[in-house]
Amino acid sequence: MKRIIPIILLLILTTLACGKSAPPTPFPTPEKTSFDDAETSYGFFPSPPEITLESVMGHYEDMGEYGDFVLFQHPIPWKDFVESVAGESQKRTDIRNQMTLARQNRLNSIFIVDALNGLNWREFMELPAGWDANFANPNVRAAIKNYTLWVLREFHPQYLGLGSEVNTYLDAYPDDAKNYISLYNEVYALVKAEAPETQVFATFQWEDLNNLGVFSTEGRKAYDTNWEQIKAFEPNLDVWVISSYPFIIFSEGADIPTDYYTPLLEETSKPIAIAEGGFPSLEKNNFGGNEQSQVDYLNTINEQLGGERLSFWVYLLLNDFNLDSYAKEMGQNHRDLDTLSLFASLGLREFDGTPKPALEKWNEIRGQ
């Protein structure tokens, strides 16, 4: 499913700016984090229920109660990084402000550096005018390398992604695949040269890998998993990471097959992780959704992938979206608002904080 978060993060960053400053020196690495334990870490995207400063602040507090970390996937500030790693800008300050909020609420962080529009993987996100939209473009490659190194030096993430749901782009632009993979390998080497302990990965969209539903356009049979798209990044994948939104295939969470995710464990001996996913509690546009299906989805992930090999698990939303609030910022006729609405009820709580049954299941799985 189209990734929704970068657009939302732009709105949050605008809210957070407010003239605030951030520490001019890099954030220190905590002495110990949840990632240091052998058990799975659990987190969310930092997407508040409403686009207000109060909602953002409260949301970080709530994530600190129900999760271990926040996953950041900021739009790349292309012009800020095309020439150099060093420098100062408002966008750098905005990202630091978010990290400050995370640390204040006892949240670790995972970063994913992603060049693409979260609501349309065929588009680059906010690429400067005149820049060719491909991974052969020297400006694109330089900005991604410099931005990644800035994130590494500034925040010292223990997990660092170099692309989100990359197979969707590789499907759309197979002629650019070699350029993307070569860039991934170059940045991987740069990261490892400075921080060999950092776990580097890209994420892959599970329903697309398996040629299901809206993704069944590649001439393969359903469940004929395209492992070659993952293996093209080996040996430079420290973790095999997927995203999964099975509601686009199954109207009920109980309909997810008992072996839906287990092939991932069988195909690799490396650690695995879930970078995003969820199931809605309300039906929308012919896609299924109900509160029991959310519980069933969580049980399915836990039963099929849970255990010592599951490094981290991101459930997309802690709270539902208040679409009226988002519509005020995006515009009622915004082309992405309908897509966003498909995810509006994915939260483990309603947008006002009222818990759904899935929240109790999430806490049970976390051992809370």
Of 286, 306, 310, give the one whose Cα is nearest residue 297: 306
| DSSP SS3 for 96 | helix
26, pLDDT greater than 70: no
Query: Residue 126 belongs to what domain range?
Result: 5-366
Question: What average pLDDT does the structure give for the chain?
Answer: 89
More reliable by pLDDT, 33 or 181: 181
pLDDT band at 19 (very low <50, low <70, confident <90, very high): very low
Return the ∠ at Cα 73 (arms to 67 and 79), rounded to 5°. Answer: 150
What number of CA atoms fall less than 13 Å from residue 98's CA on the CB side?
30
Q: What is the mean pLDDT of residues 245-255?
A: 95
Give the strand pairing for 116-117 and 120-124: antiparallel
The DSSP H or E segment spanning 199 is: strand 199-201
Show the tokens assigned to 325. 């609030």
Report the number of distinct structural domains present in the chain.
1
From 27-36, 165-174, 307-316, 338-347, the region with the lowest mean pLDDT: 27-36
What's the pLDDT tens digit per position in 348-361? 999 999 999 999 99
Q: Kindly state the percentage of the chain with pLDDT values over 70.
A: 88
Query: Which residue from 31, 23, 9 is spatially nearest to 97, judged by alpha carbons?
Result: 23
- Label residue 244 left, alpha or beta by phi (over 0 means left) and psi (-120 to 50 means alpha): beta
Q: Is the pLDDT of residue 122 over 70?
A: yes
CA distance 296 to 246: 11
CA 262, CA 145: separation in Å to the nearest integer? 34
Read off the pLDDT of residues 72-103 as tens digits, 9 standing for 90 and up.
Answer: 999 999 999 999 999 999 899 989 988 999 99
State how far the Cα of 211 lies from the Cα of 171, in Å rounded to an integer.
11
- Domain holding 303: CATH number? 3.20.20.80
The token pair at 189 is: 């080497």
pLDDT for 2: 40
Is residue 73 within 8 A of residue 5, CB to CB? The reply is yes
Which helix (DSSP H) or strand (DSSP E) does residue 111 occupy?
strand 108-112
**What does the pLDDT read at residue 28?**
67
- In this prediction, residue 6 carries a pLDDT of 47
Q: How confident is the model at residue 9 (pLDDT cuts 50, 70, 90)?
A: low
Find the mean pLDDT for residues 234-258.
Answer: 96
C-alpha separations of 339 from 2, 96, 261, 323 in Å: 8, 29, 25, 11
What pLDDT score does 164 carry? 94
Q: Is the pLDDT assigned to residue 158 strictly greater than 80? A: yes
Q: Please say if the pLDDT value at position 69 is more than 70.
A: yes
Tell me the pLDDT band of 334, cut-offs 50, 70 and 90. low
Distance between CA 12 and CA 176 in Å, rounded? Answer: 32
Q: How much is the pTM?
A: 0.92
Model confidence over 296-333: pLDDT tens digits?
999 999 999 999 999 999 999 999 998 888 877 776 65
Mean pLDDT for 44-52 is 90
pLDDT, position 258: 96
Residue 71 has phi, psi (to 5 degrees) of -100, 120
- Per-residue confidence (pLDDT) for residue 51, from 0 to 100: 83
Q: What is the pLDDT of residue 209?
A: 96
User: What is the reported pLDDT for 60?
Assistant: 95
Predicted confidence at residue 161, as pLDDT, reads 98
Confidence of residue 340 (pLDDT cuts 50, 70, 90): confident
Residue 138: is the preceding peptide bond cis (ω within 30°)? no
**φ and ψ of 31, to 5 deg:** -65, -35
